[in-house]
């Protein structure tokens, strides 16, 4: 049985930015995951996002398929994604809907969350502070024209495949992810991704908190000082909803190790790479091919 894990807690309302930045640093070094509380997004708004999400996924499949994913936006049906191609060949037991960029999200009225920009700006300025960077570093490089996606996720529960994950083992690809779930368990993390056998720990639900995690591009920027931790959603037999907000640097942004994160004895582990090139490579592994990636409906 997996052990139950309480992640570190970061309080965004704390009056001392330095101590908040320090707790973010500690959490990103130790876990690559933390709970974010007092984030300023009202419970009422979150409930209405879950309500709309449930209404969307309850629509007839034909209708949802007419909104199939194109250029990273729209509907992806059950089993069309496989986050860990070495796991079950059938794919992941979830359906999802991507809502694209902050500036022009039109079809679903979710653009208050958290796209007004305050939350991610605030959080990323603390992350910058935690890395000894100017506190507007991410605002200038990555939030200037970010690739931000809201993704509604629905795990249907019992499907008759016992060993099929809702989301198989993966790390997130981008900079940072904010996640909110309906409280149904299933999310697990594996802190040591290179150790075998993998040890999985259940992430406890904290009502009203966001779960924040570091993605691969932040891991590359920080030379693995901040971890992009492996995680998955295992089946529990229960239906589950979650909403993830992925924040990625713009595609032209060159991701190379921060000076403060390397030294002679600890040289950069990764060559510089453009954000867009890295993300395309990862998405291709998840979805199979570039054609499928660009236009899943035809
Ligand atoms: O639904 C969840 O709890 C996690 C989803 C996730 O990890 C992802 O979409 O990248
Ligand atoms: Fe993820």
pLDDT tens digits, one per residue of 163-188: 788 999 999 999 999 999 999 999 99
Q: For position 285, what pLDDT does the model report?
A: 76
Ligand at minimal distance from the CA of 188 is 1
Q: For position 73, what pLDDT does the model report?
A: 81
Pairing verdict, β 240-248 and 147-155 = antiparallel
Where residue 115 falls among pLDDT bands split at 50, 70, 90? Answer: very low
Map residue 75 onto helix, strand or coil. Answer: strand
Ligand 1 atom nearest to 172, measured from its CA = 10
Kindly give the residue spans of alpha helices, DSSP state H, lying in 81-184. 118-130, 137-141
Give dist(CA 10, CA 24) in Å, integer: 7
Ligand 1 atom nearest to 186, measured from its CA = 3
CA-based R_g, the chain, Å: 18
Q: How many angstroms does the Cα of residue 15 sit away from the middle of ligand 2?
A: 30
For residue 100, pLDDT over 80 is answered with no
Give dist(CA 119, CA 37) in Å, integer: 11
Which whole number is the average pLDDT over 138-142? 81
> Phi and psi dihedrals of 254, rounded to 5?
-85, 120
Give per-residue burial for 51-63: e unless 16+ CB within 10 Å, then b.
eebeebbeeeeee
Q: Which of 244, 247, 285 is the best mutation target for the ligand 1 pocket, counting ligand atoms within 8 Å of the beta carbon and taking the most?
A: 244
Cα distances (angstroms) measured from residue 19 to each of 12, 32, 126, 206, 243: 11, 18, 10, 22, 28
Any idea which of 90-99, 228-237, 277-286 has the lowest mean pLDDT? Answer: 277-286
Pairing verdict, β 9-11 and 33-37 = parallel
CATH superfamily of 3-293: B-lactam Antibiotic, Isopenicillin N Synthase; Chain (2.60.120.330)
Q: For position 101, what pLDDT does the model report?
A: 66
Higher pLDDT, 159 or 271: 271
For residue 94, pLDDT over 80 is answered with yes
Q: Which residues line ligand 1 (CB under 6 A)?
A: 153, 167, 172, 179, 181, 187, 231, 233, 242, 244
Ligand 1 atom nearest to 242, measured from its CA = 1
Tell the residue nearest (CA) to atom 3 of ligand 1: 187
Q: For position 145, what pLDDT does the model report?
A: 63
Q: How many angstroms does the Cα of residue 290 sit away from the middle of ligand 1?
A: 22
Which whole number is the average pLDDT over 96-106? 68
Higher pLDDT, 99 or 272: 272
Question: Bridge-partner residues for 240, per DSSP?
Answer: 155
Where residue 116 falls among pLDDT bands split at 50, 70, 90? Answer: very low
Q: For position 117, what pLDDT does the model report?
A: 61
Cβ–Cβ < 8 Å for 248, 147? yes
Which whole number is the average pLDDT over 10-32? 96
Where residue 70 falls among pLDDT bands split at 50, 70, 90? Answer: confident
Residue 177's Cβ-side half-sphere holds a number of Cα atoms within 13 Å equal to: 27
For residue 51, pLDDT over 80 is answered with yes
Q: For position 148, what pLDDT does the model report?
A: 81
Ligand 1 atom nearest to 211, measured from its CA = 3
Ligand 1 atom nearest to 94, measured from its CA = 1
Higher pLDDT, 294 or 142: 142
Q: How many angstroms does the Cα of residue 233 sit away from the middle of ligand 1?
A: 7
Q: How many angstroms does the Cα of residue 221 sit away from the middle of ligand 1?
A: 22
The whole-model pTM stands at 0.90
């Amino acid at each position: 049985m997996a052990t139950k894990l309480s992640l570190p807690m970061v309080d965004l309302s704390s009056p001392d930015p330095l101590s908040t930045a320090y707790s973010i640093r500690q959490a990103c070094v130790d876990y690559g995951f933390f709970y974010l509380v007092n984030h300023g997004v009202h419970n009422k708004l979150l409930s209405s996002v879950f309500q709309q999400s449930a209404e969307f996924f309850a629509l007839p499949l034909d209708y949802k398929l007419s909104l199939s994913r194109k250029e990273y936006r729209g509907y992806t049906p059950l089993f069309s994604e496989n986050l860990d191609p070495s796991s079950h060949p059938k794919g992941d037991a979830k359906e999802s809907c991507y809502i694209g960029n902050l500036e022009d999200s039109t079809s679903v009225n979710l653009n208050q969350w958290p796209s007004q920009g305050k939350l991610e700006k605030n959080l990323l300025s603390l992350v910058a502070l935690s890395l000894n960077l100017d506190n507007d570093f991410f605002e200038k490089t990555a939030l200037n024209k970010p690739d931000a996606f809201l993704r509604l996720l629905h795990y249907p529960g019992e499907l008759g495949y016992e060993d099929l994950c809702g989301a198989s083992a993966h790390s997130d690809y981008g900079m940072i992810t904010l996640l909110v779930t309906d409280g149904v368990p299933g999310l697990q993390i594996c802190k040591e991704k290179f150790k075998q056998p993998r040890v999985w720990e259940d992430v406890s639900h904290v009502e009203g908190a966001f779960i924040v995690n570091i993605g691969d591009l932040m891991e590359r920027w920080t030379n693995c000082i901040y971890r992009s931790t492996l995680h998955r959603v295992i089946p529990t037999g229960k239906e589950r909803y979650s909403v993830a907000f992925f924040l990625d640097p713009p595609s032209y942004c060159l991701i190379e190790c921060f000076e403060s994160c390397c030294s002679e004895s600890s040289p950069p582990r990764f060559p510089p790479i453009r954000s867009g090139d890295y993300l395309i490579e990862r998405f291709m592994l998840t979805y199979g091919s570039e054609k499928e990636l660009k236009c899943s409906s035809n």
